[in-house]
Amino acid sequence: MQLNTETEQKIIDAAQSVFREKGLDGARMQEIADRAGINKALLHYYFRSKDRLFQTVFRTEVQGVFQRMIEAVTATENIREFLRTFINTYLDNISERSYLIRFVMWESENKSDEFETIFKQVMSTKGFTKNPLVQRIEQAVADGQIRAVNPYHFVLSLIGMCVLPYVAPTAVRNIIGIRDTSSAEFLETRKKEIFNLVWQGLKSK
């Protein structure tokens, strides 16, 4: 059997959208079939079980999340411009993919072993020994371009700032008191505010 790749893609797309919204436990095979515009029988014909389908989706999602993060790491000499570019492209990336980051963060904890395996594979495939973003910050510190922050903690902070409104939009809207976190206006303001805060916070006076 050779299987129609077009249909396979439709299934994966549908599965992605359902898993992103509801997680593994909340997802229903019937709903995935419906969104793919096919029937449950065919769904199981392509992917034997929910677990297998989930595994496929989860793997590509985790890869994508890390992939996009390192794609936002450019070879810019100037650390200031490097940060600006990173924040802009990274925020564009995650804001574009509704519920992705929320899903991956939730499931990464449920499937922590699997997450680690996938992640290590990606790293070795790319020939990385360390997160390139961390590496870039480390280097900037070594070169005296910025003050001596802990690179790991700095990256953690940076990602945290970028990610939160897309991990828990409703909580953010209510608790922080921001009306609309999905508008283009919010996105642009967010970029500026994050950049200003970290740049002020980083530069060696």
Partner DNA sequence: GCATGCCTTAACCATTTAGTTAAATCATAT
Partner DNA sequence: ATATGATTTAACTAAATGGTTAAGGCATGC
Chain contacts with DNA (rule: CB under 7 A) = 1-4, 6-7, 27-30, 37-42, 44-45, 48-51
CB-nearer residue toward DNA: 43 or 202: 43
**Interaction residues for a copy of itself, span 6-65 (CB under 8 A):** 22-26, 65
- The minimum distance between CB 52 and a copy of itself, in angstroms, equals 19
**By CB under 8 A, is residue 157 in contact with a copy of itself?**
yes
Return the number of the residue (11 or 202) whose C-beta is nearest a copy of itself: 202
Residue 38 or 164: the one with the smaller Cβ distance to DNA is 38
H or E element at residue 147: none
Buried b (16+ CB within 10 A) or exposed e, 109-126: eebeebbeebeeebeeee
Q: How far is the CB of 87 from a copy of itself (least distance, A)?
A: 11
Distance CA 199, CA 79 (A): 10
Residue 29 contact among DNA, a copy of itself, none, beta carbon within 5 to 8 Å by kind: DNA
Q: Which is nearer to DNA, 50 or 80 (CB)?
A: 50
Q: How far apart are CA 18 and CA 30, in angstroms?
A: 10
Between CA 69 and CA 74 the distance in angstroms is: 10
115 binds a copy of itself (CB under 8 A): yes
Contacts 24+ apart (CB under 8 A), 143-152: 144/204, 145/79, 145/204, 146/79, 146/202, 146/203, 146/204, 147/202, 147/203, 147/204, 147/205, 149/202
Q: Which candidate, 198, 200, 195, places its Cα nearest to that of 89?
A: 195
Q: Which helix (H) or strand (E) holds 101?
A: helix 100-110
153 binds, among a copy of itself, DNA, none (CB under 5 to 8 A by kind): a copy of itself
Site residues, a copy of itself (CB under 8 A): 22-26, 65-66, 69, 99, 102, 104-106, 108-110, 112, 115-116, 119-120, 130-131, 134, 147, 149-150, 152-157, 159-165, 167-172, 174-178, 189-190, 193-194, 196-202, 205
